[in-house]
Chain A
C-alpha cells in the first residue's frame, strides 16, 4: 500500500494535475475568503468555505479520473494485479494519495481563520471543525470519483460521469423536495428502490431467485406499511432520501454551529462503501 501511495502521490506532481488541482482549489477558496470575510467582513471562515462545495464537485473528478481508468488503459493494472499485493491495498494507496493532494489546499486554508482573528474576533472552533468536515467530505467525493474511474478505461468519461454524480449528490436536497410526501409516492418510490436494489443484488450474486425474494420482501414491507402506518409512511421516502443530503451536515456545521457526528459518520460510511465498491469493481473485471 505504501509503495502505491508514494508512486501515486509522485505521479500527481510529475504531471500537471496535482499542481492545477491545488492551485485552482486554493484560488477559489481564496476568492470566497476575500469576498465574504476580508471585504464583506463576515467573521466566519466556515461560511466562505461552505460556498466552495460546488467547486469540489468539479475539481475532485479531475483528481480521480485517472486513478483506475488510466491503469487499465495503459495495462499497468496487469503489473499491479499480478504482483503479491491485494486489490484493497492498491485502492487504499491510491485513495490516500488523492486525499493527500486534496489536503494541501485545505491545509493552506487553515491560515484563513488566523487572518480573521488578527483583524477581529475569530471563531476557531467553528472554522476548524468545518475544515475538519471538509476532509471527510473530500474523502467521500474522492471515493465516488474513484469508483466511477474504475468502471471505465477513459479518463474523460470518468471525469464527466464523476462530475454529474457529485452534482446530483449536491442537488439532492432540491431533488428530494420535488417528491410529494404522500403514501402513494412513498409506496411507488420504495418499490422502485427495492426493484433496483434486488436487480443489482441478483446480478452481482448471480442468483435471480435471491433478487426476486428480496424484491418480494420489500414489496410486502412497503404495502404493509402503507396500510398499517400510513402517517409515518407518507414521509418515509423523503426522510430516507434526505439522509443522503450533503448540505445537511455542512449547514449544521456552518449555520447551526453543531458538530454533526451523524453527518460525519454518513460521509465516512459513504467513503467506505465506495472504496469497497471500487475493490469489487476491480475483482469483478478480473473474475468476469
Chain B
C-alpha cells in the first residue's frame, strides 16, 4: 500500500507536481495517465526514491520514504522510462548483478534469475550482450530486473513503449499475471492500454490529479446523461411538441437525418428519461426508431479533463461535471492536435505500435 500526501516537486520556480495526493491499495493495477509533462515519471521517480520531493510525504507499506528509504526500496521494483541497462553485460550477468544488489541470498540467486528470465521469455537471449539486443528484448530485461525478487510493488514507467504489437500484448498479459501477487503501478499516455490493463486510473495533468477511479467510474462520472433518439417524422414541430411534454428535460438538440430527426436529449441530473420518452412517443403515435444513452468513452473523459484543466488553470481535483456535448465535440479535434493525445485509443494493435513510435520520437 502506498500513501502519497501533498506531494510537491519544484525545480526552481517551475512546479512539476502540485500537491498530489493518492492512495494505492494492494493487489491492483494502477495506471497513471496523462499527456507528456504531466508529472507521471516525476511521481514514479519520487516514489522509488530516485529523486527527492520538495514537500509532502510518501509512505510505502508503512515505511516513510524519507525515514526508511532502504526499506521502501526493498518493497519496490522499478522499470524507469529508459531501461537502466549495462550494455556491456549479458542479461544473465546483468540480472545476477541486480539480484546481488537486491541482496537475494546467494543460494536463491540463480533460481530467482532463472525464474524472471522464464517469465519475461529471455532465456534464449541470456548469453548475448545487451548491446546487441533489440528494443523489445531490452525492455524485457528491464522488466525482469524490476520483477526480480518479486517485490510487493512493481512500478513500470511506460512499459510498452517501443514494442511491436505482439510484444505489447505479451507484456500486458505479463503485467496482468503479476497483479495476482503484486501491486502494479504503470504509466502511459496510451489510453487503450490503461483502460485495458488497469483496475484503477489516476489522471494527471500539469502535476495535479484531475481524476481518480476505476475506468467504469470515470466513464460514468463524466457521462453526458444524454439520450440519443432517432425519430421517424417529417415535422420538426411534432418533435418539439413531443419533447416539450416530457418532464425532466433540461434541453434538446435536433438534427435532421434521413427521413426523420435525430434528437439529443439532456436530462436534469440523474434522471432516467427512457420510459417517459417511450410513453410520450407512443402517445403521440410517433415512430421511435432508436434510443440509447450517449456514453463518453474514456478517451472523451481524458480529453475533456485535460482540456478543462487547460481552460481553467486554477483547476479542481474532482472530475468536473460534464458540459454541453456540442461544445465538447467541437473542442475535441483541437485538443487532439494540440496535445499528444491524438495517438490515444487506437483501434488496432498496429496503430498502437505506431503511436508508441510517435511518442519515442518525442524523446521525453
Contact = CB atoms under 8 A, between A and B. Distances in A.
Contacts of B93: 10
B319 to A, nearest CB: 32
Contacts, number: 71
A7 B97 contact: yes
A3 B101 contact: yes
A7 B87 CA distance: 12
Given A7-B97, A11-B86, A76-B85, A84 B51 contact: no
Interface of A: 2-4, 6-7, 10-11, 14-15, 74-86, 286-288
B43 interface: no
Interface of B: 11, 45, 48-52, 70, 73-74, 76, 78, 80, 82, 84-89, 93, 97-98, 100-103, 145
Q: Which of A79, A81, A288 has the most CB of B within 10 A?
A: A79
Contacts of A85: 101
B88 A79 contact: no
Contacts of B101: 3-4, 79-80, 83-85
A10 B87 CA distance: 13
Contacts of A83: 73, 98, 101-102
Given A3-B97, A286-B52, A287-B52, A84 B84 contact: no
Given A11-B88, A15-B88, A84 B82 contact: no
Contacts of B87: 74
Contacts of A77: 84
Given A7-B97, A11-B86, A15-B88, A75 B80 contact: yes
A7 B50 contact: no
Nearest to B151: A84
A75 B76 contact: no
A286 B50 contact: yes
Q: Which of A3, A84, A86, A288 has the most CB of B within 10 A?
A: A84
18 contacts: A4-B101, A7-B97, A14-B88, A74-B84, A74-B85, A75-B84, A76-B84, A76-B85, A78-B50, A80-B84, A81-B50, A83-B73, A83-B102, A84-B74, A85-B101, A286-B50, A286-B52, A288-B51
B247 to A, nearest CB: 59
A241 to B, nearest CB: 37
Q: Which of A6, A10, A76, A286 has the most CB of B within 10 A?
A: A76
Contacts of B45: 78
A287 B103 CA distance: 25
A86 B11 CA distance: 25
B86 A82 contact: no
A281 to B, nearest CB: 14
